[in-house]
Amino acid sequence: MECRVYMVKVSYHQKPARAMLIRSFGAEVYPSPTDQTQAGRAILAQDADTPGSLGIAISEAVEAAVTSGGQYKYALGSVLNHVLLHQTVIGQEALQQLEMAGEYPDIVIGCTGGGSNFAGIALPFVRANLRAGKATRIIAVEPASSPSLTQGRYAYDFGDTVGMTPIMKMHTLGHTFVPPAIHAGGLRYHGMAPIISELYNQGLIEARAVHQLGTFGAALQFARAEGIIPAPEPSHAIRAVIDEALHCKATGEAKVILFNLCGHGHFDMSAYQAYLEGQLEDFAYPQAMIDAAMLSLPEVPA
């Protein structure tokens, strides 16, 4: 069966090695939005130079699947609650490994885009807090340029730009959100998984947003200490880990900090090159743009 991938246009151009890896296994990769779908054509008609977004790519992928007569099936690897639960094998294994080491984390940290990476490491420890009387701080870390948890509204919204998916209650920047092209660290989704959103809404987890210059600085510090070049996405978590460790150093506290390193950065060296050559800059997504996007939220009867 043919495999077709719609990749966010700015990611396609910033990270060509990722597309080449996918092609190496026989799939076709298209920078989204394309002229192949009605959704893509409509968005290009509004803005021919759009850098794209995950919401747009999802719209194109869903349309391609539902109009293919069964030729294509749509697979989503993030955001939806069943994906989060599948990923918790990571946290369950971490619990067993920590038990073997005779330790238990005071702090658990993960990066958040759609929520599956963070949920994978964090949800088993949320369960322990709720059912076993543990008091672990659990911190979700997102980019300041895509701050769905720290600045988004907790409301019903579409999972894609065009509005083809069911609505979900989640922290959202609005399904029309388009991340700035200057943002090189991934985690570009407009919303957050419903489970993570509800946990944050109840105060059971914390959230913070970090800037990309500090994120890549932390990534290089980690690489030079550990010999592993991390992907930009988990580097947001590394930034928070270093900050928490420095705080412990300043206060004299001894704490066990657990975080999820979800991938290497070998296919993201162009982002590291941009950072090392001074081409990146920090960007905080303007609240005014978030407020404007809220006007497009679907109306849900009370």
- One DSSP character per residue, 187-229 reads ---SB--HHHHHHHHTTSSEEEEE-HHHHHHHHHHHHHHHS--
Which DSSP symbol is given to 25? T
| Integer CA distances (angstroms), 242 to 220, 239, 293, in order | 12, 5, 34
Q: Mind listing the pLDDT tens digit of every residue in the chain (302 residues)?
A: 678 889 999 889 888 888 998 999 999 999 999 999 999 999 999 999 999 999 999 999 999 999 988 888 887 778 889 999 999 999 999 999 999 999 999 999 999 999 999 999 999 999 999 999 999 999 999 999 999 999 999 999 999 999 988 899 999 999 999 887 777 777 889 999 999 999 999 999 999 999 999 999 999 999 999 999 999 999 999 999 999 999 999 999 999 999 999 889 998 898 999 999 999 999 988 999 999 999 999 988 76
pLDDT on residue 9: 93
Say how many CA atoms lie within 13 Å of 205 toward its Cβ: 31
| Integer CA distances (angstroms), 77 to 115, 237, 276, 297, 299, in order | 10, 20, 31, 24, 27
Dist. CA 224–CA 214, nearest whole Å:
15
pLDDT on residue 276: 96
Under 8 Å between Cβ of 258 and 136: no
pTM of the model: 0.93
pLDDT on residue 16: 87
Dist. CA 41–CA 61, nearest whole Å:
13
| Helix intervals (H) in the chain | 9-14, 16-24, 38-46, 54-66, 81-87, 89-101, 116-131, 148-151, 194-201, 212-226, 232-251, 269-276, 287-293
- Is 81-295 in the same CATH topology as 4-66? yes
Among 152, 178, 155, 150, smallest CA distance to 168 is for: 155
pLDDT on residue 302: 66
Q: Would you tell me how many other CB atoms lie within 10 Å of the CB of residue 3?
A: 13
Of the options 2.60.15.10, 1.10.3210.10, 3.40.50.2300, 3.40.50.1100, the CATH number for the domain spanning 4-66: 3.40.50.1100
Give residue limits of the domains in the chain: 4-66, 81-295
Classified by CATH at the fold level, domain 81-295 comes out as Rossmann fold (3.40.50)
Give the CA diameter of the chain.
Answer: 63
